[in-house]
Structure 1
Amino acid sequence: MNRPTIIISMLLLICGMGTKAQDLKKFDKGSFIKGKDSIYYRILFPQNFDATKQYPILFFLHGSGERGNDNQKQLTHGAKLFLKEDVRKQFPAIIVFPQCAENSFWANVEFGTDPQGKRSFNFQKRGKPTKAMHALLGMIDNFLDKPFVDQKRVYIAGLSMGAMGTYELLRRKKKLFAAAFAICGGDNVANVQKYKDVPLWIFHGEKDDVVPVVHSTIIADQLKVLGKVPKLTLYPNANHNSWDTAFADPKLLPWLFSNQNQR
C-alpha cells in the first residue's frame, strides 16, 4: 500500500469514528435528582417527536463495565442498534439509557468466590433496593408522569449486570412492563413467580465464563414449572458478550414492541 493510499485510509477511518460519535450525540443528556436520589441518563426521542402523541418507552440497563458518572459509557453496547434508520422508522419509541454509579450495582446481589476462584452470585429474594436501583425506580416513575409516554407500552431490558437489574425491576414493578429481554443475567429462582406473566426473552452464551449460563436456564426451567413457555435463546459458541448476537437478531425488536400490557 503506497503512502497516498494509507493517508486516504486513515482519513476515512477518522471520519468514520467521528460519524459514530456524532450519532451518539442524538441521545440527549438528562438527569433525575430528587432528595438523595440522583441518576444520569441518555435519551433518544423518536424522529419528528410530537409531545401531543404517546410513544412506547424502553429503559435499557448497561453492564458493570459501563458504570460511572460521565453519562456516556452506558451507550457502549446497544445504543447503535436504536440509531439505525430502519429501526427508528419502524419502531418510533423513546429509548432511555440510565447510568449506574461506579460504587453501586443495579441488582440486589451478594458476591462470592467459587472453588475455582471465579466470582459467584447470590441473588436476593427480597431486601431494600441498592442506591442505584432506588434512583432508577424514581426516574422511571418520573417518566411515567409524562403525557407522551404510552403506559401500556413500557419495556425494560439489559445485559449482564443490567439483565440482573432487569429481573429485579420486573419483580419490583410486576404490573408495569409490557415485555422485557435479558442478556446473560440471573436472578433468585424464587422471584420468577412475580414476573411469570410478563413476556420475557432470555439470551445467554453457553461458554460464558463471567455469568454462567445456568443463571438463565434455571429461570427458564422455573417458568416451565409455573406453566409458562419460556423464550430462551442460547448461543453454543458465545462467551459473555452474547449481546452482540442478540442485538443482531432481526426478530428481537419486532417481538419486543409487539407486546402491550394487558394486566
Structure 2
Amino acid sequence: MRFIVLALVALAGLVPTAVAQAAPAPAPPNTVVRTDVITEVNPLGWRVAAVAIEYRKPINLGTAQIPNQAFTVTATINGTTAPRTVTAVYTSDAPELDTRGPKGTPGRLIIIELDQNDPNAGALVYAQGRNEPIPLTGAYAVRQTQPITDDRGRTRLPAAPYALTNQGQINPLVDDFISANFTDSANTTINFRLLQPQAQPAHRKDGFPLVVFLHGGGERGASNLTQITANQGAVAFARPERQASDPAYVLAAQVPAGQTWTTPTQQRALIELIDTLTASNPIDTDRIYVTGMSLGGIGTFDILQNNPGKFAAALPIAAAGDPTRMPLIKHVPIWATHSIDDPVVSYTNGTLALFNALDAAGTLTTRAQWAGNLPELQAEANALNQWAQAEANDSHALLTAFSAGTTPVNAHWSWVPTYLNDVMLDWLFEQDRQDRAPSPAATALLLAR
C-alpha cells in the first residue's frame, strides 16, 4: 500500500511539469514574396521612382519610422553599377508612391523612394535619335542593412546578409494604357496605346471625349511604349485627377522609325483607327481633340488641314506647317505654345508664321508671353488671363510664347510647361465641334475628296 501511495504522489508531481513545458511554437518569420521597381513619368521623362518589397504578412510599426539608411539601393544600367539615393522608406498596402503626408500605412509592402534626379534614374536611353526602354528586370539591387523595429522596440524585420534584385517593374498610369495595333484598309499597321475611362458617361449622352496624342521624333520606333513614357504628353490626360474632372479616351499611336505624322500612309491609318474607335466605343464625335509636340505638333497642323471638320480643338506644341493652308482651319479652336528660342523647330518660321496666317485669314488671335519656368500656379494664372481675354474678344486661336532662356532643360522642350498647365487642358475640354462650323474653303476641300 505504501508503495502505491508513493507512486501516485510521484505521478501527481509530474502533471504541472508537463503543462509548463507546452510552450507555443515561435511565429514563422515574415519573408519576402517579391521585389519590383516602380516607375513614374515625370515632366522630364520616365524614371525609376522607387523599389517595392512585398512580404507575406502585413507590417505594422505603430508610430515608428523607418530610417532611410536602413536600405541601400544600386542600379546596374548599361553594365555600370552605381548607387541610388534613398529619400523615404515606409510601409504600405499598395505598390505605389504615397503622395500623402505623412507617408505610410500598415501593409505587406515596404516602399523605398528614390531621388529621381540621380544620374542613373532613367528608364529610357536616348541613342541614334530615339528613346528606347532600358531593360530593368534584375537591374536593381536592394539590401536591408539595419533591423526594422516597431514603436515598442520589437524587431519586425531583421537585417539581411544578402541583396534582393527586382523581379519586374510596376508602371502606374502607363500600365493603364492597353497595348494594341491596327491594320487599315490599305494594309498599313500602326501600333497604339489606348486609355479607356473607368467612369460612366451618364452625364453626357453622347459619350466621352477622345484625346489623340501625337509623339515627337524621338519616340518613333516599334516599342509601342516610348510614346507614352518619354514625356507627360499622354499621361497628363490619364492622371486620376484629370480623369475625375474630364473622363476621356486617350489614344497614343506610334509611327515607325523613318516615318512622320505627315506620311500619307501613317496619317491615313491613324484617321481610320480614330474612326474605328469612335464607331465601337462610347465616344462623343463632337469632342475629339488632337495634341502633339515637335514632330507631333507639325503633324497636328497637317492632320487638321487634311481633316478640317473632324476635330473639336487642338493643342500643338513646338510646331510648324504650311501657312498657305491655314485658312482651311480658321474655324478650329487652337491653343499653340512654343519657346521663342527653340533651336530645333523655329518659332518665327513655325508657330508664329502659322498664326500670322490665321490673322491674315480673318481669325482674331490672342497672344501672350511668359517664362517657361514659372511656378505652376503662376503659369496657370497667366493662362487663365489669356483665356479670359480670348473669350472677351470672341477669339478661339491662342498663342503662348515662352521667353528665351526660360524653358526647362532645353529650349525645344516647350511641352514641359504646356502639359503641366491645367488651365490649357481645361480649355481643351471646354471645346465642342458643334460650336464651330468649317469654313467654306474647308467644306469645299472635303467635298473634293
Same fold (TM over 0.5): yes
Q: CA deviation at 1:132?
A: 1.7
Structure 1: which 5+ runs fail to align? Answer: 109-128
Report the equivalent of 1:36.
Answer: 187
State the identity %.
28
Deviation at 1:149?
1.1
Tell me the CA shift for residue 174 of structure 1.
0.4
Q: Which residue of 2 aligns with 1:162?
A: 296
RMSD (Å), alpha carbons? 2.6
Q: How far did 1:79 drift?
A: 2.7
Please say if 1:227 is aligned against 2:395: no
Q: Identify which range, 8-17 or 178-187, moves more after superposition.
A: 8-17
Alignment TM-score, normalising by the size of structure 2: 0.50
Aligned amino acid, residue 333 of structure 2: P
1:24 and 1:79 in contact (8 A); partners too: no
Deviation at 1:49, TM superposition (A): 5.0
Where structure 2 has 5 or more consecutive residues not aligned to the other structure, the ranges are 1-66, 74-84, 88-111, 124-167, 366-397, 438-449
> In 2 relative to 1, CA 4–141 (structure 1 residues): closer, same or farther, beyond 3 Å?
same
Matches within 5 A, 1:53-92: 54-75=207-228, 76-77=230-231, 78-92=233-247
Structure with greater proportional helix content: 1
Q: Counterpart amino acid of 2:178?
A: D
| Count of aligned residue pairs for this structure pair | 242
Instruction: Give the strand-richer structure, 1 or 2.
Output: 2
Partners of 2:312 and 2:68 in 1: CA distance: 56
**Which secondary structure does the structure 2 equivalent of 1:253 belong to?**
helix
**More relative contact order in 1 or in 2 (CA 8 Å, sep 6+)?**
1
* Map 1:194-233 → 2, pairs under 5 A: 194-214=328-348, 215-230=350-365, 231-233=398-400
Please state how far the C-alpha of 1:30 moved relative to its aligned partner: 1.8
Q: Who is 1:117 aligned against?
A: none
Which deviations, in whole Å up to 9, do the C-alpha atoms of 1:201-237 show, x marking residues without a partner?
1100111000011101011111111121220000013
Structure 1 residue 145 displacement after superposition:
1.8
Shift of 1:133: 1.5
Q: In the alignment, is residue 12 of structure 1 matched against residue 184 of structure 2?
A: no
Residue 4 (structure 1) shift: 3.3
* Residue 80 (structure 1) shift: 2.8
1:21 corresponds, among 146, 150, 171, to 171
Q: Report the Cα distance in structure 2 between the residues aligned to 1:84 and 1:59, rounded to whole angstroms.
A: 16
Shift of the 203–9 alpha-carbon distance from structure 1 to 2, 3 Å rule, reads: same
- Give the SS at the match of 2:418: helix
2:256 match: secondary structure: coil
Shift of 1:136: 1.3
Shift >6 Å, 4+ stretches: 14-20, 50-53
Paired letter, 1:41:
F
Deviates more, 1:76-85 or 1:3-12: 3-12
Q: Whose Rg is larger?
A: 2
Aligned to 1:249: 421
> Which moved further from structure 2: 246-255 or 63-72?
246-255
Counterpart secondary structure, 1:169: helix
CA deviation string 1:134-166 (max 9, x = no partner): 221221222232251111111111000001111
**2:319 aligned with 1:185:** yes
When the two structures are superposed, what TM-score results if normalisation uses the length of structure 1? 0.84
- CA offset at residue 13 of structure 1? 2.1
